[in-house]
């Protein structure tokens, strides 16, 4: 089975640019990815594109062919929608296609335009990732759903808001050097604790921002990379996906993410690694509590102990396993359809020594990207390794 | 919510109506798995033999949050407490009513009561401390 090489990565800055269309954002990311890869557009056999709220934010469905066109690619194109895990699922599909010999070169990515909706509009749009009849109509927002999980975690395992605050502080610190990040600004624990409440126990600084942005990856087969002498030392060596019941109240666990655990176990087994091999990870920290649940689901922290990982320095830039060196969704931003592909881009660049924060993971060979949809009714996990 | 005013949601609207009349139910398969409508298949075992069973009179709050930043549909209602409560073999998400949101606690015993949104006048699933 062929390794899947990441030949090129491209990200727009993530942030507040309400005037930019999705097609403009994805065009920019894809130009960067193609230039980095050295792969001609004519060799691309398909475009796999992630997007969540295009109908609401841009009145635009059928975005696959639109984005292929924006990227200057003449090839069949499909949009993947799995809430905030949209481009994670697109990457997974691309990996499977290259492995099974169906394709040698794919353009994969995602984009989201969100800030033009305003805070209330974006909150409403994000909420539809939950069960409309049984959650949204009861007033559950996206932050509210994670707050329900945070309170359940506190009740089951202990911990308090101050523990979560250290996660936000860490991820903001990591974003200081990332010029693509939405917030390149340090914060302190007191900032988090004193911020206005959104859905208690979560406040404004426990939440990722509303963002515009795009991510693109040029993925190739190992044989294509070798034949064309590509500079592509990093491969996606493991892929996994998990699912769970849609509504939180139907789940077996309110303070755990079984879908992410299933995705992680599958991805680790696929790559032939275990959690102990992981040198760094980008995890889906849409809210501070989400990082805790992700670390535990990926076995990077024991159940019930992820809450203290940032506070005690285990996941900081100079800790044992740095988490979210990009700044994470919290500080880098979360243009939802772009996030999964952007995490793969960040891990690739970190492992290749081409990331502003690569110095913190010198010699790292194995990274993980964890992308969650909704309240983790969907999750994808990918393992990336330096192979060349 | 203009669509919701004119178009019914089969299964869900009937359930709200029944709950408002004090006759809330859940769906139960032959293997005893409980779930909420509308549903044709038990999500636990795949059974298509689902029957309506009476919902227990009280439930227990499993977790809760007080939301200060709502969607536009609940703008006038905020701040409000959302909770997940277990009623026997089913969990339900609702708004805790009849109590200050700051006084809601995990483990609280509640009764189901259909409330009305101050913002939209739509029906909302409510939990009132028993």
CB distance A126 to A209 below 8 Å: no
What ipTM was assigned to the predicted interfaces of this complex? 0.96
Distance (Å, rounded) from C-alpha A266 to C-alpha A260? 10
The pLDDT of residue B5 is: 57
Tokens of residue A322, six digits: 């740095």
The pLDDT of residue B3 is: 52
In eight-state DSSP terms, residue A309 is: T
Concatenate the DSSP letters of all residues of A217-275 into one string: EEEEEHHHHHHTT----EEEEEEEEEE--SSGGG-S-SSS-HHHHHHHHHHHHHHT--G
Tokens of residue A86, six digits: 């949209």
* Interchain CB contacts (distance < 8 Å): A and B: 110
Q: Does A118 touch chain B (CB under 8 A)?
A: no
CA of A122: which chain B residue's CA is closest?
Answer: B71
Tell me the three state secondary structure of residue A78. Answer: strand
Kindly list the residues from chain B whose CB atom is less than 8 angstroms away from the CB atom of residue A135. Answer: 93
| Residue B120: pLDDT over 80 | yes
pTM score of the predicted model: 0.97
**Strands, DSSP E only, in chain A?**
4-11, 46-50, 77-80, 105-112, 197-200, 202-203, 213-221, 234-243, 280-282, 366-373, 378-386
**pLDDT tens per residue across span B42-88:** 999 999 999 999 999 999 999 999 999 999 999 999 999 999 999 99
| Residue B33: pLDDT over 60 | yes
CA–chain centroid gap for B65, Å, is: 15
Residues 45-104 of A with CB under 8 A from B: none
CB distance A282 to A368 below 8 Å: yes
In eight-state DSSP terms, residue B76 is: T
The answer, yes or no, to whether the previous bond of A201 is cis (omega within 30 of 0) is yes
The pLDDT of residue A299 is: 98
The pLDDT of residue B2 is: 47
Cα torsion through B90, B92, B98, B99, rounded to 10: 90
Instruction: Please indicate whether, in this complex, the C-beta atoms of B64 and A151 are within 8 angstroms of each other.
Output: yes
The pLDDT of residue B1 is: 46
CA of B121: which chain A residue's CA is closest?
Answer: A137
Instruction: Please indicate whether, in this complex, the C-beta atoms of A245 and B72 are within 8 angstroms of each other.
Output: no
Instruction: Please indicate whether, in this complex, the C-beta atoms of B95 and A138 are within 8 angstroms of each other.
Output: yes
Of A200, A202, A247, the CB nearest to B93: A247
Chain B nearest-CA distance from A134, in A, is 7
Concatenate the DSSP letters of all residues of A269-305 into one string: HHHT--GGG--EEE---SBHHHHHHHHHHTTSS-TTT
Kindly list the residues from chain A whose CB atom is less than 8 angstroms away from the CB atom of residue B82. Answer: 138-140, 144, 148, 199
CB distance A171 to A185 below 8 Å: no
Burial class (CB in 10 A: 0-12, 13-18, 19+), B37: buried
Q: How many helices (H) and strands (E) does chain A have?
A: 13, 11
| Residue B128: pLDDT over 80 | yes
Chain B nearest-CA distance from A247, in A, is 9
Instruction: Please indicate whether, in this complex, the C-beta atoms of A199 and B80 are within 8 angstroms of each other.
Output: no
In eight-state DSSP terms, residue B38 is: S
The pLDDT of residue A2 is: 73
List residues of B whose CB lies inside 8 A of any A CB: 9, 12, 35-36, 43, 62-75, 77, 80, 82-84, 90-95, 106, 117, 122, 124-125
CA distances to A150, A237, A281, A356, A365 from A362, rounded to whole Å, are 34, 20, 14, 12, 9
Of A137, A147, A197, the CB nearest to B124: A137
Question: Residue B117 — pLDDT band, cuts 50, 70, 90?
Answer: very high
What are the residue ranges in chain A where pLDDT is below 50?
Answer: none
Q: Which residues have a Cβ under 8 Å from the Cβ of B111 and sit 6 or more positions away? A: B57, B58, B59, B127, B128, B129, B130
Concatenate the DSSP letters of all residues of A355-379 into one string: STTGGGGTT--EEEEEEEETTTTEE
CB distance A310 to A167 below 8 Å: yes
Q: Does A248 touch chain B (CB under 8 A)?
A: yes
CA distances to A16, A112, B114 from B72, rounded to whole Å, are 21, 21, 20
Chain B nearest-CA distance from A362, in A, is 42
Tokens of residue A236, six digits: 């996606």
**For A36, what's the count of Cα atoms within 13 Å in the CB-facing half-sphere?**
24
Kindly list the residues from chain B whose CB atom is less than 8 angstroms away from the CB atom of residue A136. Answer: 71
Residues A174-189 as b/e (b if ≥16 CB within 10 A, e otherwise) read bbbbbebbbbeeebeb
CA distances to A82, A151, B114 from B107, rounded to whole Å, are 33, 12, 21
CA distances to A143, A237, A278 from A92, rounded to whole Å, are 27, 11, 19
Distance (Å, rounded) from C-alpha A324 to C-alpha A332? 9
Of B9, B62, B90, the CB nearest to A152: B62
């Amino acid at each position: 089975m062929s390794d899947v090489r990441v030949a090129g990565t491209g990200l727009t800055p993530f942030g507040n640019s309400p005037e930019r269309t999705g097609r403009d954002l994805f065009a920019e990311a894809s130009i960067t990815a193609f230039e980095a890869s050295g792969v001609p557009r004519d060799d691309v056999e398909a475009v796999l594109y992630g997007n969540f709220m295009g109908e609401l934010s841009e009145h635009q469905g059928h975005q696959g062919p639109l984005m292929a066109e924006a990227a200057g690619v003449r090839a069949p194109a499909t949009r993947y929608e799995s809430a905030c895990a949209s481009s994670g699922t697109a990457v997974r599909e691309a990996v499977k296609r290259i492995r099974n010999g169906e394709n040698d070169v794919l353009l994969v990515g995602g984009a989201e335009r969100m800030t033009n909706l305003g805070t209330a509009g974006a909150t409403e749009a994000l909420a539809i990732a939950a069960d409309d009849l049984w959650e949204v109509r009861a007033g559950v927002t996206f932050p509210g759903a994670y707050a329900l999980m945070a309170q359940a975690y506190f009740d089951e395992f202990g911990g308090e808001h101050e523990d979560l605050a250290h996660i936000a502080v860490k991820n903001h610190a990591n974003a200081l050097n990332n010029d693509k990040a939405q917030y390149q600004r340090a914060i302190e624990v007191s900032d988090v604790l004193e911020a206005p409440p959104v859905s208690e126990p979560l406040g404004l600084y426990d939440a990722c921002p509303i963002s515009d942005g795009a991510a693109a990856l040029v993925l190739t087969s190992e044989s294509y990379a070798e034949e064309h002498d590509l500079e592509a030392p990093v491969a996606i060596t493991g892929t996994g996906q998990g699912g769970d019941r849609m509504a939180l109240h139907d789940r077996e666990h309110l303070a755990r993410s079984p879908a992410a655990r299933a995705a992680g176990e599958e991805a680790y087994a696929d790559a032939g690694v275990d959690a102990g091999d992981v040198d760094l990870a980008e995890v889906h920290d849409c809210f501070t509590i989400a990082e805790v649940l992700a670390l535990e689901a990926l076995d990077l922290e024991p159940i019930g102990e992820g809450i203290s990982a940032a506070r005690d320095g285990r996941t900081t830039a100079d800790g044992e396993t740095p988490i979210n060196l990009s700044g994470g969704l919290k500080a880098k931003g979360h243009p939802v359809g772009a996030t999964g592909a952007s995490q793969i881009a960040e891990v690739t660049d970190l492992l290749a020594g081409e990331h502003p924060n690569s110095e913190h993971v010198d010699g790292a060979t194995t990274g993980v990207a964890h992308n969650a949809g909704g309240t983790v009714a969907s999750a994808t996990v990918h393992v990336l390794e330096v192979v060349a | 919510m203009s669509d919701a005013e004119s178009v019914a949601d089969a299964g869900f609207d009937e359930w709200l109506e029944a709950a408002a009349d004090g006759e809330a139910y859940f769906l139960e398969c032959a293997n005893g798995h409980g779930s909420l409508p509308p549903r044709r298949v038990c999500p636990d075992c795949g059974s298509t033999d689902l029957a309506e069973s009476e919902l227990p009179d009280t439930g227990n709050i499993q977790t809760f949050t007080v939301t200060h930043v709502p969607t536009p549909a609940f703008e006038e209602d905020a701040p409000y407490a959302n909770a997940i409560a277990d009623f026997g073999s089913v969990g339900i998400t609702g708004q805790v009513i009849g109590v200050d949101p700051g006084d809601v606690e995990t483990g609280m015993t509640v009764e189901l009561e259909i409330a009305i949104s101050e913002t939209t006048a739509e029906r909302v699933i409510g939990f009132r401390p028993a």
